[in-house]
Amino acid sequence: MSHGWTGRRGPLVAECVVLGLLLAVDLGWAVRAGVPTGLPSTLAFNLAPGQSTAVAVLALLRRRFPNRVLLLGCVVAALSLIGTAALLITASLGQPVPVELDLTELMALALLIGSASRRLAPIPAGIVVGAGAVAMIAQALLRYGLGGLPAVPAAVLWGGAVAVGLVLRDADSRRRSALTEVRTGERLILARELHDLVAHHVTGVVVLAQAGRRVAPERDEVFGEIEQAGAEALAAMRRLVGMLRTDGDLGASPSGLLDAVQQAVPPEATLTVQDGLDVLAVTPEAATTVHRVIMESVTNAHRHAPQAREIDVDVHVDGDWLVVEVVNDGVRSGPSCDRGYGLVGMTERVDALGGSLLAGAAPGQRWRVSARLPLGRTV
């Protein structure tokens, strides 16, 4: 969806702007300082703008190639150290180069250090963080000719990059844990609901076995074994489901599709259903999924848009698909690209039935949740 892409593109645009401004400052400072005399110093001076541009591009490429952060970080650190060495060599030859700011290089190193701290395993992250520290401190101590004073802000920048990366790493870990917990909880609910479906069919097998014992007494032993196996299976399922149940479980499951829809829609919402929905044959898991999608969507509307005045629920058949749409108004600001945990649970259910679920902004400061379930699998 477009808002998701916008959310991912925003930080990239901000980084491009910041790096572009710093590069302009570096170039302006270099022009003001003037071109040095002597071939070695001239070469070192002229290589600096190209190097700053290169490290800025490499820092931005980490978003396109997140698995190459280790390589990109080491390359940028190496380029920085090469630049520092070139300045020292020219100075030792008696041809010093005018002081250059190299702010772009520092920011590129900080971005890669932060990204490594956030995304890489401990050892690769330590390599990038260590190499970046050496490059930044060497630049601050050896390029500016001001003693150790520039090393202080460089160290602060390095520490800030590491700290931000670790904070984001912890946030990512917490979100992954939360998503895993949501998916696990949803699957536990599905496992409990599976009892109703399987128990229905196993009970039918037991009843048929009992009838077979009466109709064909000569097969009493065979039918008796079938009946006993079915009874044991039912008892095992009841024990397992009893272990999975919690105090917060809902009571009885919906008896049909229309019942599932009506139970989930609160009085303040507007419900529109297609004629014949009450006789549409769907499996219990499909009816339960529709119930949960509507209930979770309405709950999200109350939570994230408390000022909403309209909540519209529409259930209809579109060709071979059963479509459930929940639309609410009162969305004041553009939604985040970060998907809520409720959407994760709904998507887990819908995907299990071979359907799809979309959620996103709609015209008029509205939010739409649309689920499509294949009727071919629910008849």
- Per residue in 309-364, pLDDT tens? 889 999 999 888 999 999 999 887 544 444 456 677 788 788 888 899 999 888 88
In a domain, 252, yes or no: no
Residue 88 sits in the same domain as residue 139: yes
Which domain does 89 fall in, by range?
2-149
pTM of the shown model: 0.58
Q: What pLDDT shows up at residue 379? A: 36
Q: What pLDDT shows up at residue 70? A: 94
- Per residue in 104-121, pLDDT tens? 889 999 999 999 999 999
In a domain, 313, yes or no: yes
Domain boundary among 204, 221, 244: 244
Residue 35 sits in the same domain as residue 131: yes
In a domain, 162, yes or no: no
Residue 11 sits in the same domain as residue 140: yes
The token pair that represents 325 in the structure block: 């749409």
The kind and range of the H/E element at 270 are strand 270-273
Residue 73 sits in the same domain as residue 143: yes
Q: What pLDDT shows up at residue 123? A: 95
The CATH number that applies at residue 327 is: 3.30.565.10
Residue 265 sits in the same domain as residue 306: yes
Residue with tokens 């919402």: 269
In a domain, 155, yes or no: no
Q: How far apart are CA 343 and CA 313, in angstroms?
A: 17
Residue 238 sits in the same domain as residue 265: no
Answer for the pair 360, 334: CB distance below 8 angstroms, yes or no: no
Q: Where are the alpha helices (DSSP H) in the chain?
A: 2-33, 39-64, 69-92, 103-119, 122-142, 151-215, 220-244, 257-264, 284-304, 341-352
Question: How many domains are there within the chain?
Answer: 3
Q: What pLDDT shows up at residue 338? A: 46
Q: Which of 39-43, 98-102, 184-188, 231-235 has the lowest mean pLDDT?
A: 39-43
